[in-house]
Amino acid sequence: MNCHCHPHGFAEGHYVLPQLPYEFEALEPEIDAQTLRIHYERHHAAYVSGANQAMEQMRTMGKGEANCAAAAATTRDLAFHLGGHILHCLYWKSMSPTPKSEPEGALREAIARSFGSLEGFLKLFRCLCLSIQGSGWAVLGVDALSCRPVLAAMEKHQDALSPSMRPLLVCDVWEHAYYLQYQNKRADYVDGFLARLDWSHAEKSFNAHALPHE
């Protein structure tokens, strides 16, 4: 299966840290360079190596004696780290120094059908960002069954996610995404994120995956 969504997050049989689409300071003042650098070089990188490790463990376990508890733990590790890797790949693409601040065409129309209007979507998305308890993500995705845009408040990197959902656009509300710069003021960070919100990738991904079924 081709993975169109994250072409730079996988190479030569391993998950890899994708190239950031901009410089560390490019999203200032909304996201400062230090926060972005640590988030990318340490947090995202740790999910990449965790996902590779879990895959490696799975292969090793497949060759040995069955150990159900270890297998279950490894699948949980994989879901957590691979979820983290995929979501961070998308997070970097959900922001831009020169954002396309509104979607056009098919995605815009589909968002209006799902949420009433673009403004309705943004209101709900912001609410999700603020209401997630602890660590998680607000996600705009496409339900593969209906090809409709749907919203999810994901806990950690993998919980509360519909199996049919392909994420299009995400906001990371783990404290590591904002605490250095905004401390406990998550709403200020979310407003900064929304000021940098870029629809280009979400639009491309929606057009590539949802349109043929419309």
Q: Is residue 189 close enough to count as binding Mn ion by CB under 5 A? A: no
Distances (CA, A) of 174 to 43, 132, 184, 189: 11, 9, 11, 11
Q: How far is the CB of 64 from Mn ion (least distance, A)?
A: 33
Q: Is residue 178 close enough to count as binding Mn ion by CB under 5 A? A: no
Q: Which stretch binds Mn ion (CB under 5 A): 22-30, 42-50, 98-106, 131-139?
A: 42-50
Q: Is residue 174 close enough to count as binding Mn ion by CB under 5 A? A: yes
Percent helix, strand, coil in the chain, to 5, is: 55, 15, 35
Amino acid at 117: S
Name residues contacting Mn ion, limited to 87-126 (CB under 5 A). none
Nearer to Mn ion, 43 or 108 (CB): 43
Q: Which of 172, 193, 203, 210 binds Mn ion (CB under 5 A)?
A: 172
Q: In angstroms, rounded to a whole number, what is the distance separating the alpha carbons of residues 82 and 105?
A: 31
Q: In angstroms, rounded to a whole number, what is the distance separating the alpha carbons of residues 26 and 93?
A: 13
Nearer to Mn ion, 45 or 144 (CB): 45
Nearer to Mn ion, 37 or 43 (CB): 43
How many helical (H) and strand (E) elements, i.e. helices and strands, does the chain have?
Answer: 8, 5
Q: How many residues bind Mn ion (CB under 5 A)?
A: 3
What is the contact surface with Mn ion in residues (CB under 5 A)?
43, 172, 174
